[in-house]
Copies of this chain bind each other. A is one copy, B any other.
Amino acid sequence: MSIESTIMKMTKAAKAASAEIAKCPTVKKNAVLLKIAETIEKNAEFIKNENRKDLDIANEKRLSNAMIDRLTTSDSTIKAMSDGLREVALLDDPVGSLSETRRRPNGLEVSRMRIPLGVIGIIYESRPNVTIDAAGLCLKAGNAVLLRGGSESLSTNRALAGIIGKALRETGLPEETVQVVPVSDRLAVNLLLKQEEDIDLIIPRGGEGLIRFVVENSKIPVLKHYKGVCHVYVDEGADLAMAENICFNSKVQRPGVCNAMETMLVHKSAAPLFLPKMAKRFIDKGVEIRGCPETCKILPKAVEAQKNDWSAEYLDLIVSVKIVNDMDQAMMHIMEFGSSHTETIVTSDYKRARRFVREIDSSVVLVNASTRFNDGGQLGLGAEIGISTSKLHAFGPMGVEELTTTKFIVFGDGQLRK
């Protein structure tokens, strides 16, 4: 079969399956999730064997250690996958809930009813755990899902798809509810992105290159973030010990992720006391400091930041530091160079705290807390399927509710429009 007809057939089957899973009772959806979790654990050896095929090819192709690390399915990643599914089973089912119920003057009763989106396409790179995490969340929200992982994890993804399909079948649901695209050709992605009649949402997960490719080529709405250039602003009069802990945690607790701090903005009155101590902690941990000229005067070990440092997402043990005259300058810097992802102010001032959260235009704005809290689990959404930095539909971490929408339902007794 040609790639075209494979994709068309899968998409049509997903659309048909979406009507079934949309009306599936919560208990049955949870039963599938728990069955997948159980089967993954029982088939750990099989999954690891299939994963070894991917790893062999990856080694032949001399992929980077970081990529091979992400690709590897070990006992602990298998446990994380099944634990994740069990957590999703415990989440409230958003489907069918009613809100904003109002009675109109003519007696019509109007509500919004939460419903699944329909068919979701996930396009991702090497991590096979996304296959399970995304499938679990989409299922819980009553959606069918098409998963297109990286070519380098094809065998692992097929093994996982087989397990999911079997669990769906045994629970009496169409196995086309979750499908893994079995071709590694990029044409497959291009074709998926054109099926706007049958796919309701595309979520790309991976590097900026993949995400830009998806946005350029999709006729279907896309939820995505390109990058996270997150800032901490240390205000005048801030508790400097707290500021130090927050900046340290934001930068080094896990530097390779999108909600890690990349730029530290420091009020000029705080800088002389704050920066030397902070820099010592950073340098002890191996963090490279790239500073504005004022910063370099205070920190002789800092290198001078270049223009492109201010918009860089290092994802590494590097931090850029800028001294500012006041909060306005900090906010202007964030507006110019930020990515609408995550921003923190460390402050003791009530008014500036309120103004910062009101005026900063980022998906998560924090006062006196680490940027690393921009995460669906940490903010209380349960699991997350990603973070959106565009404002339509979802802005910030996306949980199971962001995989749904609402329709209006109206009960009347013969009302006519005048």
* A interface, CB within 8 angstroms of B: 19, 22-23, 96, 102, 104, 108, 110, 113, 115, 117-118, 196, 200-201, 215-216, 219, 221, 223, 239, 242, 245-246, 249, 253-254, 335, 353, 357-359, 361-370, 372-374, 378-380, 390-393, 395-397, 405-417
Cβ of A245: which chain B residues have Cβ within 8 Å of it?
A: 414, 416
The answer to whether A373 and B410 have CB atoms under 8 Å apart is yes
The answer to whether B22 and A361 have CB atoms under 8 Å apart is yes
Cβ of A216: which chain B residues have Cβ within 8 Å of it?
A: 219
The answer to whether A392 and B200 have CB atoms under 8 Å apart is yes
Cβ of A392: which chain B residues have Cβ within 8 Å of it?
A: 117, 200-201, 221, 223, 392-393, 405
- 6 nearest interchain CB pairs? A369-B412, A372-B417, A249-B416, A393-B393, A366-B410, A221-B392
The answer, among B115, B353, B359, B380, for a CB contact under 8 Å with A361, is: B115
Interface of A is mostly: mixed
A375 and chain B: residue at smallest CB distance: B417
Cβ of A366: which chain B residues have Cβ within 8 Å of it?
A: 409-412
The answer, among B96, B196, B200, B379, for a CB contact under 8 Å with A110, is: B379
Complex Cα spacing A200 to B340, Å: 13
A219 and chain B: residue at smallest CB distance: B215
The answer to whether B396 and A407 have CB atoms under 8 Å apart is yes
Q: List 13 A-B contacts (CB under 8 A).
A: A96-B358, A104-B379, A108-B369, A118-B361, A196-B215, A245-B414, A361-B407, A364-B407, A367-B411, A368-B412, A369-B411, A379-B408, A396-B406
The answer, among B358, B368, B373, B391, for a CB contact under 8 Å with A200, is: B391
The answer to whether A363 and B408 have CB atoms under 8 Å apart is yes
The answer to whether B335 and A19 have CB atoms under 8 Å apart is yes
Complex Cα spacing A373 to B412, Å: 11
Complex Cα spacing A410 to B379, Å: 9
The answer to whether A414 and B246 have CB atoms under 8 Å apart is yes
The answer to whether B367 and A410 have CB atoms under 8 Å apart is yes
The answer to whether A367 and B200 have CB atoms under 8 Å apart is no
Complex Cα spacing A392 to B388, Å: 13
A390 and chain B: residue at smallest CB distance: B221
The answer, among B358, B396, B410, for a CB contact under 8 Å with A364, is: B410
The answer to whether B367 and A407 have CB atoms under 8 Å apart is no
